[in-house]
Amino acid sequence: MWEKIISCDQTYDELFFTAVKTTKIYCRPSCKSRKPKKINVTFYHDIKEVEAAGFRACKRCKPEVEHSPHTELIKNVTAFLVNHYKQKLTLQNIADHVGISPFHLERLFQQETAETPRTYLEKIRVDKAAHLLVHTDLKTLEICYDVGFQSPSSFYKSFRKVTNCSPSEYRRQEQ
């Protein structure tokens, strides 16, 4: 078990918990916090047992939460993207909104959703554009800028990547 916490092995999460006697904190085996001295560590197989022994949950890995400890952060990011898709957004803007570094944000987002914040934002914009193409008489160029793309070329490229057709082909198909 000691080897699993040293290697931060996620596959052992929920199978056992690491409790540190000196801090009275317990963690998942995959927790990225600084590793304690081996003599200060006890292992528990049940969360009720470790809490009954007087340990509190780590605020970093949140072992008491059954889902990923980053779920709330990812929900916050996706809500931000959905609500601000029309604006010119950079990874730095998004990272500033949630209070972490751009590098850490991109890594966590990709780990949890299997895509980058940029590709997620592109999909939102393309979905909004597809809706406008079918339900309005706006010109394709107007829709391009209305949904937040900075140039028609990036709009056409992203639209084709997501829908496998051009905006005008999509409009014809859906009418």
Helical pair 71-83 and 102-113, crossing angle rounded to 10 deg: 100
Q: Which of 27, 31, 58, 61 is catalytic?
A: 27
Note the Cα 168 to chain centre separation in Å: 33
What are the tokens at 140? 């394709």
N-to-C CA span, the chain: 60
C-alpha distances in Å from residue 63, one per residue of 43, 69, 123, 143: 13, 8, 32, 45
Euclidean distance between CA atoms 9 and 22, whole angstroms:
23
CA dihedral 58→63→65→66, nearest 10 degrees, is 170
Euclidean distance between CA atoms 53 and 5, whole angstroms:
20
Is residue 31 flagged as an active site residue?
A: no
Catalytic positions, written as ranges: 27
